[in-house]
Amino acid sequence: MLGAKVMARAKINLFLEVGARRDDGYHDIRSVMQSLELSDELYFRRTDGSAGRIVIRCNDTCVPSNAENLVWKSIEEFDSRTGVIAGGGIDVLINKRIPVGAGLAGGSADAAAAFLALNRMFELDIPSDELADMGAAVGSDVPFCLLGGTALVSGRGERVERLEPMPRVQVVLASPGEEASTREVYDRFDALGPAAGSPAEMEVAFNTLVAGIRTHDFDSICSSLVNSLEPATTAPEQVERYKDIARQSGALVAMMTGSGPTVFALVSGMEEAAEVAWELEKAAPITIVTSFAGQGAELSEV
Ligand code: ATP
């Protein structure tokens, strides 16, 4: 097969507990991640007569088109494990819709899309756990972005366990449009020390959330969202402001996702989503209405 088109879905963290920095520089996390319908669209094409040549084109000029791009790294990782690309090249077109450096795992979603596309294009039928293993070598959120839906994620992100699928909850995202460096946020977290809650409180919140997901008890879900990284955000004023606006305009709950600075608000329906988005738009340079999705990266017809 010459080409493959993939939808690369963004994620939010409904729960994110961050442990101490490990010897390898990573942090152990315990997270409940949720895919969103908000997605980048990627098109991959095999090219002949240009051994090892990778070309990436992206509509967003903030996204690197060289070896810094996670898609590039994924192609190299895939080739180092399978050797199938060596004789030719790969062209990639990225239609970026997920805000960059916003805690929505846009780069990891694109990386997941690359593994899915290459597996299909070279007709290798590599099982999903092996693709996830390759993905983990490129970025901590890649294994989740491959599986998607609602999942419990632990280790540094390489352990992913699917949870009960969630209904199609509406979500409003608000972002200041300035990138947050994930590394900087983790450094700030280390300097601040544990703050989100005592270990016992975190345990109660986590168990309530997971039970709420299993029983479709949306009140329990909304009452138990936690993000350990929120106090370490690079945009504290915007995060607080967006959360206040969302709650005052009818959101059930609002919290920062991942390393931020995007705030997500869960709302009870389309009408409420419109109202919350209307108010957030007055303050936030980027406001997006989307919904929970039941899967991650997805191949689509070319
Ligand atoms: P996470 O939530 O996984 O920490 P994020 O959503 O905060 O990630 P990304 O959008 O993945 O952040 O981008 C972080 C950085 O990664 C950007 O500054 C960008 O330079 C780099 N990057 C590399 N490849 C990509 C890609 N395909 N899309 C977006 N950013 C990319």
43: its two tokens: 């098109």
Ligand 1 centroid–CA 49 distance in Å is 31
What structural domains and CATH numbers belong to the chain?
Answer: 3-165 (3.30.230.10), 170-291 (3.30.70.890)
The two three-digit tokens of residue 168, written as one number: 């199609």
pLDDT at 199: 82
Which of 150, 129, 134 minimizes the C-alpha distance to 9? 150
Q: Buried b vs exposed e over 80-103: b needs ≥16 C-beta within 10 Å?
A: eeeebbeeebbbbbbebbbbebbb
| Residue 115 CB neighbour total at 10 angstroms | 28
Sign of CA dihedral 121, 103, 165, 40: negative
Q: Which of 96, 110, 141, 243 is catalytic?
A: 141
Mutation test residue for ligand 1: of 11, 18, 182, 239, the one with most atoms within 8 Å of CB: 182
Residue 106 has pLDDT above 90, yes or no: yes
Q: Is the CB of 103 under 6 A from ligand 1?
A: yes
The burial of 276, by beta-carbon neighbours within 10 Å (0-12 exposed, 13-18 middle, 19 or more buried), is given as buried
Mark residue 190 as left, alpha or beta (left: phi above 0; alpha: psi -120 to 50; beta: remaining).
alpha
To the nearest whole number, what is the mean pLDDT of the chain? 94
Provide DSSP, 121-169: HTT----HHHHHHHHHHH-TTHHHHHH-SEEEEEETTTEEEE-PPPP--
Give yes or no for residue 51 having a pLDDT over 70.
Answer: no
- Give the pLDDT band of residue 49 (cuts 50, 70, 90): low
Cα 143 to its chain centre, rounded Å, is 10
Q: Does residue 58 register a pLDDT over 70? A: yes
Task: Please report, rounded to a whole number, the percentage of residues in the chain having pLDDT higher than 70.
Answer: 97
At 201, is the pLDDT very low, low, confident or very high (cuts 50, 70, 90)? confident
Q: Return the closest-CA partner of residue 144 out of 161, 123, 127.
A: 161
> Is 141 one of the annotated active-site residues of the chain?
yes
Instruction: Give 221-233 pLDDT, tens digit per residue.
Output: 999 999 999 999 9
Phi-psi region at 63: left, alpha or beta (left = phi > 0; alpha = psi -120 to 50): beta
Known active-site residue 133: no
> Is there a contact between 72 and 66 (Cβ–Cβ < 8 Å)?
yes
Residue whose Cα lies nearest atom 13 of ligand 1: it is: 101
Q: Report which secondary-structure segment, H or E, holds 70.
A: helix 70-82
pTM: 0.95
Residue ID of nearest Cα to ligand 1 atom 16 = 107
pLDDT in tens, 208-219: 999 999 999 999
Whether 261 shows a pLDDT value over 90: the answer reads: yes
